[in-house]
Amino acid sequence: MLDLLITNGRIIDGTGAASYPGAVGVEGDEVRIVAGDLSAVEAGRIMDAAGMAVCPGFIDMHSHSDLFLLNDPKHEVKLRQGVTTEALGQDGLSYAPISPDKLDPLLRYLAAVNGLPPEGLRWSSVKDFLDLFDGRVACNVVYFVPHAAIRVEAMGWDARLPTEGEMTRMQELVRQGMSQGAFGLSTGLTYVPGCYSDTSELVSLCQPVGWMGGLYVTHARYNLGDRLLDPFREAIAVGQRARVPVQISHYHSPVAGMGQQMVELLDEARRRGQDVTYDQYPYPAASTLLLSLLPAWVHAGGPGQLLQRIQTRDVRQQLKQGIQPSWGGSWDQYMFSRIRTPQNKLWEGHSVEEFMRAQGKSLVDAVCDLLIEEDLDVAFVSRTGNEQNIRTIARHPAQMVGSDGLLTGDKPNPRSYGTFPYVLGQLVREEGVLTLEQAVAKMTSFPALRLGIHDRGVLSEGKKADIVVFDPKTVRAAATFEEPKQYPEGIRYVIVNGRVVIDDGAHTGALPGRALRRS
């Protein structure tokens, strides 16, 4: 007897093949394919999916839910998008492995990205961290060893290259993390402390990743060389030298016409035999920490020294030429998304330009004073993306979907709440950029294959029952830049490990998620 039988739907199996009418069963946490006459099939529940698509659960290849999930285990922001697995540890900005005494400064420094963990909750190893998710959250997670954590653990916040001993220690931490279930290494090369590295350091750290069959995931060094293609050339070079597959994070450029050049760069690398793919979000806006606008030298020594430096007049004088819009454009396109304290929170949704003028301060003084008042806990959205580049890059077969959504603050990037339904509604139904089958494959089987998760990503016999049922005619993202915290429409049912989590659009409270570990 089946626990669940989904009938009358149109099955999109995740492989990219044409959809077909049929039924899908669930027994325990596994899929059962049901063919032919259903009259004799017994099930504890029959779910009528007439007029709807039935497909594998979506895999968010670039998530920043590392601590948010622990604070809000129901995780409606992603489950309601159909996401059943999230890739954590992205941009090199996460928290394991690390010693307890070094964890708190890292938590403080990254609070605008991930918030803080529940009171009293701490860990040190990758195993400890992953154990926090098993059976305690609503969706599955995979994890990448973050460059920031291992660098802080091995050599603190120093703005220099590692010694031989420190490099050996970092390599051992990578091996340790992967042996405990991590899927590879991630870097964030425009963030401290990752930006203090050079290419040779990255190659050395990726060598154990390659030996252990993992993946190198990178937020490229955007200020390198021509600041256009050279950052991605470095990512490809690391893969070639370390003999490791490369996943480029949030592959995009706000510069008009760069989309075609970016896919041609990847095509050339792939023709040379480099295994390189990428994830991408579909909204024309970036999001990150306000402190990332300050040049790297100001951050040396960690958050305490950063705050001390920016209080001094001499440093602020030096910063007058050092703070530039990260993604081009002007400061009226950079909108605060997260400000911690009640007295300043009213500026969420307003621009840096508005804030500076209202304060009657220079840009440097306004930014530094705010970071001091908020203990660095400020994030922003920059609305400087390029719609055409997004669509050019989305069509490429090396592309998969990642939200890169910060979940802190009340005015986050709408991609946090809308990425997957936006692709299905806007890019598929409204614009025809992708077919429905292509889009689903980019959200399911392709990321599962990339990660090496062989029991998910496709609706076939014996696979784990992560399933989404949605209406292709109505699915859409409701989130906007003005009102970003809006759940999408058209995602009717979401099943994780065989248990219904979203039931006719409502969360059941079930927490069947698991930390999926590299085998």
- Cα separation, 186 vs 238, whole angstroms: 12
d(CA 313, CA 330): 25
Query: CA of 203: how far to CAs of 197, 241, 249, in Å?
Result: 10, 6, 17
Long-range pairs for 343-349: beta carbons < 8 A, 24 or more residues apart? 343/373, 344/370, 344/373, 344/374, 345/410, 348/409, 348/410, 348/411, 349/410, 349/411, 349/482
- What does the pLDDT read at residue 322? 78
SS (H, E, C) 51-106: CCEEEECEEECCCCCCCHHHHCCCCHHHHCCCEEEEEECHHHCCCCCCCHHHHHHH
- Taken in order of first residue, the domains within the chain and their CATH numbers are 1-81+404-438+454-512 (2.30.40.10), 287-382 (no CATH)
pLDDT per residue as tens digits for the range 365-378? 999 999 999 999 99
For the record, the structure tokens of 1 come out as 């007897």
Q: How far apart are CA 56 and CA 460, in angstroms?
A: 9
Ranges of the chain with pLDDT below 50: none
Say what the pLDDT of residue 35 is.
87
pTM (predicted TM-score): 0.97
pLDDT of residue 326: 76
Distances in whole angstroms, Cα of residue 41 to Cα of each of 46, 210, 390: 10, 47, 45
Nearest-angstrom CA–CA distance, 323 and 292: 9
Tokens of 507: 């969360």
Residue with tokens 């091996």: 175
Q: What is the distance between the alpha carbons of residues 516 and 309, in angstroms, rounded to a whole number?
A: 42
Q: CA dist 8 to 47, 55, 82, 238, 494, Å?
A: 9, 13, 19, 48, 16
- Using CA of residue 424, residue 430, residue 436, residue 441, what is the dihedral sign? negative
Instruction: Give the C-alpha separation, 433 to 482, whole Å.
Output: 25
Cβ burial of 113 (10 Å; 0-12, 13-18, 19+) is: buried
| Sequence-distant (≥ 6) Cβ neighbours of residue 416 within 8 angstroms | 77, 403, 405, 406, 407, 479, 484
Contact between residue 64 and residue 477 where contact means Cβ atoms under 8 Å apart? no
491 Cα distance to chain centroid = 21
